[in-house]
Each structure stands twice: as C-alpha cells, then as structure tokens.
Amino acid sequence: MRVAIIGCGAIGSIIAKAIADGAVPAELVLLCDADRKAAEKVSGFFKRKPRIAESIEEIVNSNADLVVEAASQGVVKLFAPKILSSKKSMMLMSVGALADEKFFDKIKKVAEKKRVKLYLPSGAIGGLDALKSASAAKIYEVTLTTTKPPNALKGAPYLTEKGIDVGKIRKKTILYEGSATEAIKKFPANVNVAATLGLAGIGVKKTKVRVAADPSIDKNVHEIFARGDFGEFKFKVENVPSPQNPRTSYLAALSAIATLKKITSPVEIGT
Ligand SMILES: NC(=O)c1ccc[n+]([C@@H]2O[C@H](COP(=O)([O-])OP(=O)(O)OC[C@H]3O[C@@H](n4cnc5c(N)ncnc54)[C@H](O)[C@@H]3O)[C@@H](O)[C@H]2O)c1
C-alpha cells in the first residue's frame, strides 16, 4: 500500500515513524505540510526518503493508494472530495469536518462511486466497537464528557466568544453542555471524537457533549455513556497528551497506526 500523509505534526509524525520502523507494511511515498520544515523532519525518519509535495494538488495527482489526513478540518473540507475522486482511499483524523451532514453525504457518495474507502479511526476514544454493535438495535442516549487540563483547551473559539481565560481556572469547571454538532464548532481542535462517536452511534446532532477544564489533572479524559436496547455501557479513558501538541492525545495517533494495520491485515478483530 502506497501512503501519502498530509500534516506532519503530532499525529502525522507518529504515523510516519511507525511506517519507517516497519510496524505498518506500507510505503510512504509523499509527505505534505504547510510548514516545509515539519515535512523535512518527518522525511528524516526514512532511509529511502519519501518525496515532499509542494502542494496537496501534487498528492491528488500522485500514485498513492491511501491518503492520511492529519492536518485540519479545513483540509478535509477543501481536499477530501478531490482526493477521493482521484480514486484514493482516505483516513481522516480531523473528523469534526464530517459533523456537516451535507458534506459527509457528499464525500460518502464520491467514495462509493469511485469504489474507495473512507477510514475514521477511533481517535482518542474507545468503545466504538460496542456502540456500533448496539446501533443494530435502538440507542436512546450517547453522552461524551471530555475533561482536559485548561491549557489543552487554549485557543478554542468558545473561550474567546465567552471571554474565558483558561489560565484563571482554579477548579474543575464545566464549560459547555450541548449537542456534539455545536461542541465541534466551539472546540474544533478538541472534540473530533464527538463526531466519530456521533457517526458510530445515533448521529452527531443527537449525541450530547460536556466539556470541562480541570487544573488538577494532567491527562485528557473522555467518558462515554450509552444506553439502548442492549443495556448500557460506560467507557473512560485517561489519555497521555502528545508531547508535541497537548490538545492531542497519544492514543489518537496510535489509533491511526492500528487502522493502517487493520487495512493491511487479513484478519479484523472487533465489530
Ligand atoms: N480523531 C481524533 O481523535 C483526533 C485527536 C486529536 C487530534 N485530531 C485532529 O487531527 C488533526 C491533526 O492533529 P495534530 O495534533 O497532529 O495537529 P498538529 O497541529 O500537531 O499538526 C498538524 C500539522 O498539519 C499542518 N497543516 C495544517 N494545515 C495544513 C494545510 N492546509 N496543508 C498542509 N499542512 C497543513 C500543520 O502545519 C501541522 O504541522 C487536527 O485537526 C486535530 O484536531 C483528531
């Protein structure tokens, strides 16, 4: 499998390292980052250096079989339709872009028409296997509670909108409660998992999200509660933040590696 990566930050560089180390049976053919230095650093992991693309267009026109997006929701919106149309499968990390139902339907149709796949890794959460099984019957409620150290929420549009200075938060504070659709707009770099959870369960609109800041923790904590005909489940993960980007959990990058392994393996475990 020939892979191209867009975005050589916290997630992209960990995925590339796994390919360079032979942990994933794939060849990295192209890298792209708005910051060329980031792409050069990642290219340095390889004996046989992947080419650095000058633009995402170059990836669209390449011979890659799979394009990994680990850049931004904007990149997904602008380029996923073109990349899928050029008969390449995609693995998306900026899943928040798919909270826009019209856009999601559009790229799903393109993937279907071109007979390629769209892979959405579990990211920073777990429990999606059980939720997908449960969604074969009725599900009544899915709630995600995300608690992060205040610093990890820095830069979220919601904080600017409300004039909240995270540096002044002294105790655990619930900042937001509402639909996943709104949460993704208000915390775009923090709750991509809300979109993945919504798409795996009862839809993004009906999925509820709570976002809290807690200065006493040093992990990104995600708790999922789901209730349906199957019964109910609770899932909690306390994620180590990635050293390169505190907003991103290490598990998110590991889930991308696991997805690449799943794609290339003859055996699939779990739902
Ligand atoms: N699904 C999940 O669970 C999950 C978890 C964490 C992060 N994410 C999302 O995954 C994405 C990557 O996360 P990260 O922590 O690696 O981010 P990061 O900021 O560490 O790295 C992103 C990289 O993409 C590059 N980039 C941005 N826009 C670009 C463009 N238009 N063209 C080329 N390069 C571009 C940046 O220069 C940067 O090097 C983000 O959108 C993030 O919100 C998803």
- Listed by start position, the domains of the chain span 2-123+252-264, 128-247
Banded model confidence at residue 246, pLDDT cuts 50, 70, 90: confident
Put simply, whether the predicted model's pTM sits higher than 0.85 gets the answer yes
Banded model confidence at residue 107, pLDDT cuts 50, 70, 90: very high
CATH number of 128-247: 3.30.360.10
| Cα Rg, the chain, nearest whole Å | 18
Q: What is the model's pLDDT at position 271? A: 87
Q: How far is the CA of 216 from the centre of ligand 1 (A)?
A: 27
Q: How far is the CA of 31 from the centre of ligand 1 (A)?
A: 13
Give the phi and the psi of residue 178 in degrees, each rounded to 5.
Answer: 170, -155
Residue 35 has pLDDT above 90, yes or no: yes
Q: Which of 14, 10, 9 is nearest to 259 (CA)?
A: 14
Q: What is the model's pLDDT at position 92? A: 98
Which of 3.90.550.10, 3.20.20.80, 3.20.20.370, 3.40.50.720 would CATH assign to domain 2-123+252-264? 3.40.50.720
Q: What is the average pLDDT value for the chain, to the nearest integer?
A: 95
**pLDDT average, residue stretch 197-204:** 96
- Beta-bridged to residue 107, according to DSSP, are none
Question: What does the alpha-carbon distance between residue 106 and residue 189 come to, in Å, rounded to a whole number?
Answer: 23
**Is 32 touching ligand 1 by the criterion CB < 6 Å?**
yes
Residues noted as catalytic: 222
Residue 216 has pLDDT above 90, yes or no: yes
Question: What does the alpha-carbon distance between residue 88 and residue 85 come to, in Å, rounded to a whole number?
Answer: 7
Q: What is the model's pLDDT at position 190? A: 80
Q: What is the model's pLDDT at position 245? A: 85
**Which one-letter amino acid corresponds to residue 15?**
I
Residue 244 has pLDDT above 90, yes or no: no
Banded model confidence at residue 203, pLDDT cuts 50, 70, 90: very high
Which atom of ligand 1 is nearest to 8's Cα? Answer: 39
Instruction: Write the residue with the smallest CA distance to atom 18 of ligand 1.
Output: 9
Which atom of ligand 1 is nearest to 38's Cα? Answer: 39
Give the residue, out of 60, 248, 254, with the most ligand 1 atoms within 8 A of its beta carbon, to mutate for a pocket test. 248
**Strand (E) or helix (H) holding 69:** strand 66-69
Q: Which residue has the higher pLDDT, 241 or 40?
A: 40
Quick check: helix, strand or coil at residue 246?
Answer: coil
Instruction: Please answer whether residues 164 and 155 qualify as being in contact, where contact means their C-beta atoms are separated by less than 8 angstroms.
Output: no
Q: What is the model's pLDDT at position 65? A: 98
Q: What is the model's pLDDT at position 189? A: 83
Q: What is the model's pLDDT at position 126? A: 96
What percent of the chain has a predicted confidence (pLDDT) above 90? 93
Give the residue, out of 32, 33, 43, 72, with the most ligand 1 atoms within 8 A of its beta carbon, to mutate for a pocket test. 72
First to last CA, the chain: 24
